[in-house]
Amino acid sequence: MLSGAIILCFAEVASRFSGAGGAYLFTQVAFGRFVGLQIGWVSYFVRVITGAVQSNLFATYLAEFWPWAGTRPGGILVTGLFLGLLAAVNVRGVLSGAHLSNVFAVVKIAPLLTLGFLGIIWLATQDTVMQHTPTTATLNGWLQALLLLMFAYGGFESAVIPLAEAKAPRRDAPWALLIGVGLAAVVYLAAQVTVLATLSAPLSSSRPLADATRVMAGAGGAALVTLAALISVYGWLSSNMLAVPRLSMALADSGDFPKFFSRIHPVFRTPWISILFFAGLSWMLANVAGLLQNLSLSAVSRLFTYGLVCAALPVLRRKERGDMEGVAPALFRVPGGSVLAAVGVTGSVLLVSRMNLREALTMAAVIALATMHYVVARKPAR
């Protein structure tokens, strides 16, 4: 429900814009260049960390079939090939990247829906009772669970970054966001019910979906789910490889990133330097940083973006009524938008309070670097 409130705010705000940049563009128009620059840097930071997490996950899952991928040299090679292939596809053109992202989206969702369907059949045909030991939930426990779920439902903000290369972004972006969160809710619910129906102790499993499938379909089914996980991670990164370079390109076009990030390939007409830089930086972090540390930091840091985009909704409404230049009318207007914006801001602030010291220092460093660039960029050239 919290994700739904945030996504509805994103849907209305996105329906006002047709340029690249996503939350960076939205907050810049609403709150000015300084806030927009901060969100741009934070958004890029989140995406690079997420790219590293995706690379680490791919190597980890691949080690189930090819143990050498779990070694240090194997991880370096696997993550390099993992990122390099996607970078090459996206350098060749936005259409190639979009088609690849669409293919992986279908391939990764189909096995999860199939798993849910098998779970329903299992419940209907087996004498199964979902009996699990109840636990007393504390406030801290609820907040930690919400934080993890926000990471699970997150990532939608990357879909609105490359709007400048879409056919009808103001019309299509809101519906894409809403359909996406609806499908995610169905998939997660089906997976959760299946796990609870088939495993007596799901907390003791490191791969509950594979173990649930093993109960219903044997070792072969578990192997197929592991393969689906590999495909899912690859599709996850393919969407980021499409969207994130357009964010750095938009930042560079506005003078908020080094100018070379906006260079376009003379043949393929894509931001090839931005694509290669994102792939290279993600590869480096994947091989020097810990998976769980990056995962937790990614979950916390994206909440800064969510809260400020929700806060932008009532601001843009006021600017629209005042006929402010650069604020187009919303093609998708959310009933009770101001209330939903308040819910999104409050929820984001509450979950950001879960930051540990390392995460707080890291976010402070990113904000400090962005501020330094803002100050330097404002100085006139000598």
Which pLDDT belongs to residue 20? 72
Per-residue pLDDT at 344 exceeds 90: yes
Banded model confidence at residue 381, pLDDT cuts 50, 70, 90: very low
- Single pTM value for the model: 0.78
Rounded Cα distance between 254 and 262, Å, is: 10
**136 pLDDT band (50/70/90 cuts)?**
confident
Q: Mind listing the pLDDT tens digit for each residue in 175-193?
A: 889 998 888 888 888 888 8
Q: CA-based angle 265:268:274, to the nearest 5? A: 45
266-285 mean pLDDT: 84
Exposure letters 40-50 (e unless 16+ CB within 10 A, then b): bbbbbbbbbbb
In the predicted structure, residue 8 carries a pLDDT above the cut 90: yes
Single-letter residue type at 351: L
Beta strand ranges found along the chain (DSSP E) = none
Domains within the chain, CATH numbers bracketed: 2-245+274-378 (1.20.1740.10)
Sign of CA dihedral 7, 13, 19, 22: negative
Q: What is the pLDDT of residue 309?
A: 93
Place of tokens 């007409």: 269
* Between residues 361 and 129, the one the model is more confident about: 361
